[in-house]
Chains A and B, each alone.
Chain A
Amino acid sequence: MSSKQVDTSGFGAYAGPVLRNDEGAFIFEIADHHLNADERLHGGMMMTLASIVLGSVAKETAAEKAPGATVRPLSLNCDFVSAGEKGDTVEGRAEVTRATRTVLFISGELRVGTRMLMTATGVYAIKGPDET
């Protein structure tokens, strides 16, 4: 299976590298610098990863509707279902629940194999290429 690296420039680089396989899933391996003091995947890191997964799907959906359009997060809700350990390979997926002209509802999850780490929902505003 082929995979390509997801653009995580700026702050997102701390959460990386994040890969994307040809099924559209986001793949992330938990390393030392992602851990908290309890040697578990850091909560902020997990939410950053969720924001990358949901944000990427939102951005793609907006760009399909109008070339050059971008998105801005309005709300992100993250539920911490279980903890991530060093060496775990996390798989992230997200889908569009509803798309209106100006707003996207995205729902996603992070899991390790069959174990759910996080469920997340986000609401994104669509900004056209001519808007600031």
Chain B
Amino acid sequence: MGPMFEREENGARIFGFFADERHLDENGAVHEGMLMTFADAFLGSAAHRGAGGRSCVTLSLQASFLAEARAGDFIECRTRIDKTTRAIIFVSASFSVGGEDVMTATSLWKVLGER
């Protein structure tokens, strides 16, 4: 999938990757499954931090596809922890190319071992 990049800006985790030929669908756009795979990785990483380093598993992930991304695009993902409870973490994110949003995602994560 990679390489993937990660940095912190004003407390928010920002991730990024370059889309290349491997990530495309038959129409030459980045495959929605690929984008959701990155969403699972990036939002999951944010959830893991939000849970204080405990393991989390995906309960639900919803993605909206605002525009198509192409090979060569640098796709940036800004994550936000919306709510943390003892057992559940709510994480949302926007994916953008050059400042234009290509995908937004919201997700629910279960903190393993908590109830």
Contact = CB atoms under 8 A, between A and B. Distances in A.
Interface of A: 7, 9-12, 14-15, 42-45, 47-52, 55, 70, 72-80, 83
Nearest to A9: B26
B62 A76 contact: yes
> Which residue of B31, B34, B36, B65 has the most chain A CB atoms within 10 A of its CB atom?
B31
Interface string B3-41: 000000000000000000011111100111110111111
Interface stretch (B52-60, B76-84, B85-93, B94-102): B52-60
23 contacts: A9-B25, A10-B24, A10-B25, A11-B25, A11-B31, A12-B25, A12-B33, A43-B57, A44-B33, A44-B36, A47-B33, A48-B33, A48-B36, A48-B37, A51-B36, A52-B33, A73-B65, A74-B65, A76-B32, A76-B62, A78-B60, A78-B62, A83-B57
A80 B58 contact: yes
Nearest to A78: B61
A74 B64 contact: yes
Nearest to A81: B59
Name the 7 nearest CB pairs between A and B, nearest first.
A44-B37, A48-B33, A11-B31, A77-B62, A47-B36, A51-B33, A43-B40
Nearest to B110: A80
Contacts, number: 87
Interface residues of B, number: 28
> Which residue of B22, B33, B36 has the most chain A CB atoms within 10 A of its CB atom?
B33
Contact of A43 (B23, B26, B32, B58): B58
Contacts of B57: 43, 80, 83
A47 B33 CA distance: 6
B8 to A, nearest CB: 23
A72 B68 CA distance: 9
